[in-house]
């Protein structure tokens, strides 16, 4: 049966604003603001969640620090996608025993995708007794209430029940000042790629109503944000759960009508749901960047089947051919996994061949990491780590050569860029991005930050372009 997307009722959300007020009043007698340190790991979706946590904390009266030792409240907003990410978090949790020893009143919270894993919350319950609050992404909207419970009961609070997930509108947000903003348009994932933990920790796919997304984008453009990224694990299935007769292409079309000088981009797209209609919409839009992050994961049809990706190598290549035919300036990036259980050297080389053939502008490359509870984690995995590393190195060499050549082709051209901040290179003190999200280090005046300018490209390497801002 079709699942109906569950919205948190406004009255329940209002109650959370009341808990924020209560916490605010609790701290009102203190001389200084309470201080929180929010450390976010993982993808942009988690970054967007971290900004909501900060929004709720600001409403509770908190100021912010990057130093856990100075904080009254430390929050680790975690990622579970690979083992390495999890190990880092357990390492950080270990370090926090010292800050808590110095300041026994310090509250320590663990949230995000790791917290939603039963295995992790059990380990924290048993072995990390200095952690006061553990909650998964499903409980993010009621963080003020959970924090209030910690402060008033002084007991450990766990809110980690498995759920399909909900949508909560109107949570306050602290955004980075500047030109870039993230807008989640949907949550969760239904795809169950066999290697991936995300569907287990983020619940089922659910889309925000189009009007809510449009309102948010409009207010961001009015506030001066110029580079807006729409987020979802698979934005191409946006709207499927709403049964409202609109899809992701329609959403892009509507956003494109919002007046202003801005770019809008999106991630991630799943090739099984990307359509020529989407590419046509991108091609004719004024604001949608001609940039596509379309993860292909493997160049071998057998491995793609084992991964449960539901497209073939040829279908992927033909999608890209179409996208490039309607957007010859398309900047294309992708995610790849090397060393999926049972992958042979020949199959890994099919991936390397696909990378060579397509010529991606940039690639996010990963060595397979087993995630307990996923289907792939129980498959036999005979290749050694050293073998996988060798295949991985070959992939990187091919991609780096491709990136360097694509970047070199910009030399001598004038491109429109958005100046988004300072760079750490004294010769090229500004950082900027092309429409395709290529990094351009620029010579120019700081007063250009936040503006679109024309830049003449003089030099390049594998990772960046270098140039000069032309007088406007």
Task: Report, in Å, the least distance between residue 187 CB and ligand SF4.
Answer: 11
Task: Report, in Å, the least distance between residue 336 CB and ligand SAM.
Answer: 6
**Nearest in space to 182 (alpha carbons), one of 48, 1, 373, 28:** 48
Q: Tell me whether residue 37 or residue 230 sits nearer to ligand SAM (CB atom).
A: 230
Q: Tell me whether residue 313 or residue 438 sits nearer to ligand SF4 (CB atom).
A: 313
- Taking CB under 6 A as the criterion, the residue among 369, 390, 451, 462 binding ligand SAM is 369
- Taking CB under 6 A as the criterion, the residue among 25, 192, 397, 412 binding ligand SF4 is 192
Exposure b/e, 158-190, CB count within 10 A at least 16 = b: bbbeeeebbbbeebbbbeeeebbbbbbbbbbbe
235 binds ligand SF4 (CB under 6 A): no
**Interface segment toward ligand F3S; rule CB under 6 A; list 76-84, 123-131, 279-287, 440-448:** 76-84
H or E segment and range at residue 256: helix 248-256
Q: Tell me whether residue 191 or residue 460 sits nearer to ligand SF4 (CB atom).
A: 191
Contacts of residue 439, Cβ cutoff 8 Å, sequence gap at least 6: 431, 432, 433, 463, 464, 465
Structure tokens at 423: 């760079």
Choose from ligand SF4, ligand SAM, ligand F3S, none: what does 184 bind? Cβ within 5-8 Å by kind. Answer: none
- Taking CB under 6 A as the criterion, the residue among 368, 391, 428, 452 binding ligand SAM is 368
List the interface residues with ligand SAM, window 249-268 (CB under 6 A). 268
45 binds ligand F3S (CB under 6 A): yes
**Interface segment toward ligand SF4; rule CB under 6 A; list 158-166, 193-201, 247-255, 422-430:** 193-201
Q: Tell me whether residue 138 or residue 142 sits nearer to ligand SF4 (CB atom).
A: 138
**Nearest in space to 78 (alpha carbons), one of 102, 42, 53:** 42
364 binds ligand SF4 (CB under 6 A): no
CB 77 within 8 A of CB 114: no
CA 226 – CA 315 distance, rounded (Å): 34
CB 236 within 8 A of CB 275: yes
- Taking CB under 6 A as the criterion, the residue among 23, 79, 183, 327 binding ligand F3S is 79
Residue 465: CB atoms within 10 Å? 25
N-to-C CA span, the chain: 57
CB 371 within 8 A of CB 377: yes
Choose from ligand F3S, ligand SF4, ligand SAM, none: what does 113 bind? Cβ within 5-8 Å by kind. Answer: ligand F3S
Q: Bridge partners of 367?
A: 338
CA 402 – CA 359 distance, rounded (Å): 6
189 binds ligand SF4 (CB under 6 A): yes
- Taking CB under 6 A as the criterion, the residue among 53, 71, 120, 196 binding ligand SAM is 196
Task: Report, in Å, the least distance between residue 78 CB and ligand F3S.
Answer: 7
Structure tokens at 254: 């509507």
**Which residues of this protein are in contact with ligand SAM, per CB under 6 A?**
43, 81-82, 195-196, 198, 233-234, 268, 270, 295, 297, 335, 337, 366, 368-369, 371
**Which residues of this protein are in contact with ligand F3S, per CB under 6 A?**
42-43, 45-46, 79-81, 112-113, 197-198, 202
């Amino acid at each position: 049966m079709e699942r109906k997307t569950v919205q948190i009722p406004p009255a329940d959300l209002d109650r959370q604003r009341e808990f924020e007020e209560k916490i605010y009043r609790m701290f009102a007698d203190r001389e200084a603001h309470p201080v929180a340190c929010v450390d976010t790991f993982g993808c942009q979706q988690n970054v967007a969640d971290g900004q909501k946590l900060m929004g709720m904390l600001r409403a509770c009266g908190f100021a912010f620090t990057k130093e856990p030792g100075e904080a009254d409240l430390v929050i680790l907003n975690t990622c579970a996608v690979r083992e390495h990410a999890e190990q880092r978090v357990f390492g950080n949790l270990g370090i926090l025993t010292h800050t808590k020893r110095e300041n026994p009143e310090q509250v320590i919270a663990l949230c995000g995708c790791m917290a939603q894993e039963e295995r992790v919350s059990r380990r924290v319950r048993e072995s990390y007794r200095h952690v006061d609050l553990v909650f998964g992404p499903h409980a993010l909207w009621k963080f003020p209430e959970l924090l209030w419970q910690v402060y008033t009961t002084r007991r450990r609070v766990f809110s980690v029940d498995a759920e399909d997930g909900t949508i909560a509108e109107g949570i306050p947000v602290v955004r980075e000042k500047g030109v870039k903003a993230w807008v989640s348009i949907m949550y969760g994932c239904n795809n169950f790629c066999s290697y991936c933990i995300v569907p287990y920790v983020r619940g089922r796919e659910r889309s925000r109503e189009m009007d809510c997304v449009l309102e948010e984008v409009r207010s961001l453009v009015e506030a001066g944000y110029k580079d807006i990224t729409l987020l979802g694990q698979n934005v191409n299935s946006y709207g499927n759960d709403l049964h409202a007769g609109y899809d992701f292409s329609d959403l892009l079309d509507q956003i494109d009508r919002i007046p202003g000088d801005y770019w809008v981009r999106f991630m991630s797209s799943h090739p099984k749901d990307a359509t020529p209609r989407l590419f046509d919409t991108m091609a004719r839009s004024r604001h949608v960047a001609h940039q596509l992050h379309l993860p292909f994961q493997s160049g071998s049809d057998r491995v793609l089947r084992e991964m449960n990706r539901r497209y073939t190598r040829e279908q992927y290549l033909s999608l890209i051919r179409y996208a490039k035919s309607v957007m010859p300036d398309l900047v294309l990036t992708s995610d790849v996994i090397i060393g999926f259980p049972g992958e042979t050297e020949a199959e890994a080389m099919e991936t390397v061949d696909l990378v060579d053939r397509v010529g991606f502008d940039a690639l996010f490359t990963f060595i397979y990491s087993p995630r307990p509870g996923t289907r792939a984690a129980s498959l036999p995995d005979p290749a050694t780590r050293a073998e996988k590393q060798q295949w991985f190195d070959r992939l990187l060499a091919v991609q780096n050569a491709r990136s360097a050549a694509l970047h070199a082709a910009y030399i001598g051209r004038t491109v429109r860029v958005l100046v988004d901040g300072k760079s750490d290179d004294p010769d090229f003190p500004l950082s900027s991005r092309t429409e395709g999200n290529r990094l351009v280090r620029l010579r120019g005046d700081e007063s250009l930050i936040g503006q679109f300018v024309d830049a003449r490209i003089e030099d390049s390497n594998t990772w960046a372009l270098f140039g000069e801002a032309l007088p406007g």
